[in-house]
Structure 1
Amino acid sequence: MSDDLPEDQPTVNRRSALGAGAAALGGAALGAGLTAAAACADTTPSTLPSASEVDANLNRSTHLFHLTAASPDRFDGGTLQGAHEQNFPVLAGQNGAAYFVRLEPGGIREPHWHPTAWELNYHISGTAKWTLLGTHPDGSYRTDVFEAHAGDLVFAPQGFFHYFENARTDAPLELLIVFNTSAPETSDDIGLLAAMNSMPRDVTASVLGVPVSALAAIPTEIKPVVITTRH
C-alpha cells in the first residue's frame, strides 16, 4: 500500500485504550498510524492523540486492504499476512487486526500466548489440530484438544497458552485470525522457545525434572519462531 509505515515504527498494544478515554488512546504506534494516514511527517507525535483525531483518521484513511496480496512473512512451515495499524492506518486506535495464515503439511504455529489480546480463528480450508491450556482455579489444569475444519471458529482467550498445526499431510491449512488489538501480532506474542530461553538452563531442568544436559540441543538464540514445521 502507498501509505504503509516504515518497519521501524514503534508499536503499542491498546487493548483497552478506547474504553479508558482520550488520555489512553495514545501511544507511539497510534501516533504513527495517524501520521501516515494524514500524509504528515513520519515522526511520532510528542503528545497523545485526542479522540477527535482518532475519529478524523477514520474519514481520511482508506478502508480497503488487500490482505492476501500483502507481502507475506515467510517461515519454515508456512506464511503469515497481516493487516494492522502499521500497514493499514485506519485501524489505529480501533483495537483490531487480522491475519491470513497458511500452514503447509507439517506446519505448526509455535505454542505461545498473547498477554493482552484474545483471538478468533476462522478456518477457511484444511484441518487443524488445536491445543489450549487455560488457568486452573480448581487446582487442576484444563487442556482442550480438538480438531477444527473448514467453516469452524475457534476462540483463544487472552493469556491462554495455545497452538495449532496442520493435521493433514496432503493439503495446506488456511485460517483468518482476528485480534482485539491494532498492533502487529508479534508485538503481543510470547513463544515457547523465547520463554524457555528466558530462564537459566538449570532452572528449566529443575522444573522439568531432567538433567541440564538433556536441554543441550535447545537453540539458545532468542527470536520469534511463530511458524515452524514438524521434523
Structure 2
Amino acid sequence: MPSKLALKLLPAVLLASILATTHGAPLGTSTSAAPYPSPTVPYASDDPNTELWGPYSDIVPQAQRGTYGATILGPQNVPLELQNPSLLAPPTTDHGTVKNAKWPFALSHNRLQTGGWARQQTGISIADMPIATGIAGVNMRLEKGAIRELHWHNAAEWAYVLKGTAQISTVTADGQNYVANVGSLWYFPSGQPHSIQATGDDSDGVEFLLVFDNGEFNENDTFLLTDWLAHVPKEVLAKNFHTSEAAFDRIPGQELYIFPGPVPSDNQQGPQSPYGTTPEPYTFDFASMKPTQHPGGTVKIADSRNFKVAKTIAVAEVTVQPGAMRELHWHPSDDEWTYFIEGSARITLFAASGNARTFDYQCGDIAYIPGSYGELSDNLDVFKDVSLNQWLALTPPELVKAHLRLSDETISQLSKVKPVVVAPQ
C-alpha cells in the first residue's frame, strides 16, 4: 500500500508522465503525427465579433456584419442604433432568445416634485425590463434640505450616493433609533420606517440610487406617513395619541412624497430612546474603502461581512480599464443589477441551451443578469411590529413637524414606549 506522501505526490507524477509523452519519445522510438479527432459538431467560428461602431461614430449604421445582413431601406433611429451596435449587427456568437437586459434610466418616466424627482426601473410592476424579476431600482434627486418623507415598504432598501450627502433616520421594531449623515451607502430592512433628507454639504443637494430586493417593488406604492394619517379619522388619531382632534387640524390631506424642508444640522441627533441606539450602523463609508487592485482594474465589495445590517443585498464597485474585461463568470444563486457610472461596456449573457445575446451599455444604463434561481424559506421565530407612536417619538422633531405640522406640545406627548393596547380616553 502506498504511503500518504506517495498519494499526495501521485497527481504530480501523473502530470509529469503526461507532459513527458507529449513533448517527446524515448531515443530509438519511431513517431508519427496522429491526426486531430473529428469534432462531433463544427468547430467554433473564428469570425471577428468586435463592436462595429460607437455612440459617437460619424456613420449611418447598417444591419451588416461581414457577409451577413443587408442595408436598412426604411427609416432609422440613428442615435439609438449608434448606442446599440450589438443589437443591430450582433456578434455571430449570439443565438436564440434572451430577454432584454438593458434599461436606460433616460427612458423611465420621471416623477417631478417640489424639491426633487424620482424615476424607477422595475421588472414586474411596470415591466420595463421583464427579465429583472428579483431586483428593482430607483434614481432619486433631492434639493438641499428636501425630504423623502417618512415611509416604509415591503422590500429591503440599499442605497448608493452618486453625489452629495443625505441625512437618514430610522427606528427599529425594538424601539432603537439611528440618525446619521451619509455620503456612500445605507441599508434599511424590509418594513423598517425611515426618512431621507438632503444636507447642505453640497449646494446641489444629493442624488442617489435605491436598489430593492424585490422585482415587484414600485416606488409609487410605498407606505407614506402623510398618506396613512390622511386616511385615518381624526377622532381615531386623537384616541391613539391621547390628545385632541384639533392637534391634527394642519396635517396634510394627501401624501407629500418629496417636499422642501429646512437644511438639517450636521450634528443632528435623534431623540434619546429608552432602548438606546441600534447596535450596528445603517450606513457604510464605502467611499473610503481601499479597492483591491487587479491587472485590468479594481474592485471594492461591501456585504454582510463588513456592512453587518445589509443582509439581502451586496455591492461590488468594479472599475475596468479600457480594453480590459471582467472575467467570464456567473453567480450561483443571486441576480446581478448593474448600474454604469462612467464609460461604456459590452456584456454577453449566456442563458444555456445555446441562447446568448450581447448588449451595449453607456453611463446611466442598467444591466440585469439573472442568477441560477433557487428558493429560500426562513422560519419566523420572533414577532415584531412597528409602533407609529414610538416611530414618531423617536424621530427628530423637526422631521415630524415638517411632515405633520404638529405642535411642540403634541410631539412631547408622543410615547417612546409602544402603547401596544391603547386605553380608553
**Short-chain TM bin:** 0.5 to 0.7
Identify if the C-alpha distance between structure 1 residues 207 and 154 changes in structure 2 by more than 3 Å, giving closer, same or farther.
same
Aligned to 1:84: 122
SS at 2:102 equivalent: coil
Contact 2:121–2:129 (CA<8 Å) still a contact in 1?
no
Give per-residue Cα distances to partners, 1:165-200, cap 9 Å, x unaligned: 001172220110100122343354100011212322
What's the TM-score once normalised by structure 1's chain length? Answer: 0.65
Match of 2:151 in 1: 112
Count of residues in Structure 1 that have an aligned counterpart in Structure 2: 164
The 5-angstrom pairing of residues 186-201 of structure 1 reads: 186=219, 188-201=221-234
Give 2:111's match in structure 1, choosing from 57, 73, 77: 73
Unaligned runs of 5+ in 2: 1-95, 263-425
Equivalent residue number for residue 177 of structure 2: 143
Q: Deviations over 1:135-174 (max 9, x none)?
A: 11xxxx101111101xx11111000000110011722201
Paired amino acid for 1:155: Y
Partner Cα distance (1:70, 1:64) in 2: 12
Aligned to 2:190: 158
What is the TM-score when the length of structure 2 is the normalising length? 0.36
213, 236, 239: which is aligned to 1:206? 239
Aligned mates of 2:258, 2:209 — CA distance in 1: 15
Partner of residue 249, structure 2: 216
| Structure 2 contact 168–180 (Cα < 8 Å) conserved | yes
Q: Is the alpha carbon distance of 1:102 and 1:65 closer, same or farther for their aligned partners in structure 2, counting shifts above 3 Å?
A: same
2:258 is aligned, of 221, 227, 231, to: 227
The CA RMSD measured in Å over matched residues stands at 2.1
Q: Does 1:122 align with 2:160?
A: yes
- The aligned counterpart of 1:178 is 211
Structure possessing the higher relative contact order (Cα contacts under 8 Å, 6 or more residues apart): 1
In the alignment, the residues of structure 2 paired with residue 156 and residue 132 of structure 1 have an alpha-carbon distance, to the nearest angstrom, of 8
Aligned-residue offset at 1:61: 2.5
**Matching residue's letter, 1:153:** L
Deviation of the 1:88 alpha carbon? 2.3
Query: How far apart are the structure 2 equivalents of 1:108 and 1:187?
Result: 16
Task: Measure, in 2, the Cα distance between the counterparts of 1:193 and 1:95.
Answer: 29
Measured against aligned partners, the alpha-carbon deviations of 1:102-148 in whole angstroms (never above 9, x if no partner) come to 0011211010001x210101111111001011111xxxx10111110
Deviation of residue 72 (structure 1)? 1.1
Which residue number in structure 2 is paired with residue 97 of structure 1? 136
Larger helix percent = 1
Structure 1 spans left out of the alignment, 5+ residues: 1-57
Inter-partner Cα distance in structure 2 for 1:59 and 1:198 = 47
Q: Deviations over 1:61-87 (max 9, x none)?
A: 221111145331111211111111225
Residue pair 1:106, 1:229 contacting (<8 A) in 2 also: yes
Kindly name which structure, 1 or 2, has the bigger radius of gyration based on alpha carbons. Answer: 2
Distance 1:113 1:166 in 2: 18
**SS at 1:204 equivalent:** helix
